[in-house]
Chain A
Amino acid sequence: AQSVTQPDIHITVSEGASLELRCNYSYGATPYLFWYVQSPGQGLQLLLKYFSGDTLVQGIKGFEAEFKRSQSSFNLRKPSVHWSDAAEYFCAVVGGGGGNKLTFGTGTQLKVEL
């Protein structure tokens, strides 16, 4: 069965600083990978996804992620964080068994210091 690990429960960065959120997955074949963001009281919004092809994917709000098969990682990055980026970020994988079954990590809570 597939699984996702987000090693960092909380991260604090200063506004304008760069950001990298880590995600490691476990899945036997090529996974479909996603990053979602959840603001307080809101549902999850898709930031970006990787299915195949170019391993560096661009998403909304200036985010990007890089798929590294050798490291089983799909880390999320942003060159300059804005205060409005403070939220919880979830990495997720769709694996085998069909049916779009998303398996989520436990999330990383991002705090942005002004």
Chain B
Amino acid sequence: EAGVVQSPRYKIIEKKQPVAFWCNPISGHNTLYWYLQNLGQGPELLIRYENEEAVDDSQLPKDRFSAERLKGVDSTLKIQPAELGDSAVYLCASSFSGGAGEQFFGPGTRLTVL
């Protein structure tokens, strides 16, 4: 069974440029998460989807970050415009709905903003 797929794996952009990250969750997982992992830190939740609905986006900086999950499967996270401080690893995870089941993580996208 395929795991969580993310692309690109690495992205280097200049500040003020836009960038987008894509995530394909494990088949059958209704819940999708985007996490931000800064260097030397644990991941922090940015947004959680239940199917198409963003049910927890309280930590998403909405002035420059946006996300969508059309059709309740794939998801895209966008930053526009990027700032130097956005350099980090962006992780996508998925799980079955409900309870506190295991979250399966993708390999992440390492973003470098110059």
Contact = CB atoms under 8 A, between A and B. Distances in A.
A90 B50 CA distance: 25
Interface residues of A, number: 24
B4 A43 contact: yes
Contacts of A4: 42
Contacts of A45: 105
Contacts, number: 58
A4 B43 CA distance: 12
Interface of A: 4, 9, 32, 34, 36, 41-46, 49, 51, 90, 92, 94, 99-102, 104-107
17 contacts: A43-B3, A43-B4, A43-B91, A43-B105, A44-B91, A44-B93, A49-B102, A51-B100, A90-B42, A100-B33, A100-B99, A101-B48, A104-B43, A104-B44, A106-B41, A107-B40, A107-B42
